[in-house]
Amino acid sequence: MKITLSVLKADIGSVGGHLRPSQALLDEVKDFIRENGRNLLIDYYLSFTGDDIAILCTHEKGVLNPEIHKLAWEAFLAGTAVAKKQGLYGAGQDLLKDSFSGNIKGMGPAVAEIEINERPSEPFIFFAADKTDPGAYNLPLYLAFADPMYSSGLLLSPKISQGFTFRIIDVAHTEKDKIIDLNAPEDLYDIATLLRDTERYCIESIFARSNGEQAVSVSTTRLHNIAGKYTGKDDPVALVRVQGDFPATGEILAPFEIGHYVAGFMRGSHNGPLMPCRLNTTISYFDGPPVVTGAAFCVKEGKLTGPVDVFDHPYWEYVRTKIAEKAALIRRQGFFGPAMLPWSELEYGGVVERIKKLEKRFRFRE
Ligand code: F6R
Ligand code: MG
Ligand code: MG
Domain range enclosing 218: 2-351
Q: How many domains does the chain have?
A: 1
Q: For residue 360, is it within any domain?
A: no
Rounded (5°) CA angle 159-198-354: 170
Q: For residue 357, is it within any domain?
A: no
- What is the atom index within ligand 1 of the atom nearest the CA of 11? 8
Does residue 2 come out as left (phi exceeding 0), alpha (psi in the -120 to 50 range) or beta? beta
- What is the atom index within ligand 1 of the atom nearest the CA of 130? 7
Q: For residue 364, is it within any domain?
A: no
DSSP letters of 106-123?
A: TSSSEEEEEEEE--SS-E
Looking at residue 303, its pLDDT comes to 98
Q: For residue 139, is it within any domain?
A: yes
Q: For residue 205, is it within any domain?
A: yes
Looking at residue 323, its pLDDT comes to 98
Under-50 pLDDT residues of the chain = none
Q: Is 155 exposed, middle or buried (0-12, 13-18, 19+ CB in 10 A)?
A: exposed
Looking at residue 173, its pLDDT comes to 84
Instruction: List, for residues 126-141, the tens digit of each pLDDT value.
Output: 999 999 999 999 999 9
Q: For residue 174, is it within any domain?
A: yes
| CA–centroid distance, residue 334 to ligand 3 (Å) | 22
| CA–centroid distance, residue 37 to ligand 3 (Å) | 26
Candidate of 9, 266, 271, 347 to mutate for ligand 1, largest count of ligand atoms within 8 Å of Cβ:
266
CA dihedral 68, 70, 76, 82 (to 10 degrees): -120
Q: For residue 75, is it within any domain?
A: yes
Does this model's pTM top 0.95? My answer is yes
101: Cβ contacts below 8 Å, ≥ 6 apart: 107
Looking at residue 26, its pLDDT comes to 98
Instruction: List, for residues 252-298, the tens digit of each pLDDT value.
Output: 999 999 999 999 999 999 999 999 999 989 999 999 999 999 999 99
Q: For residue 35, is it within any domain?
A: yes
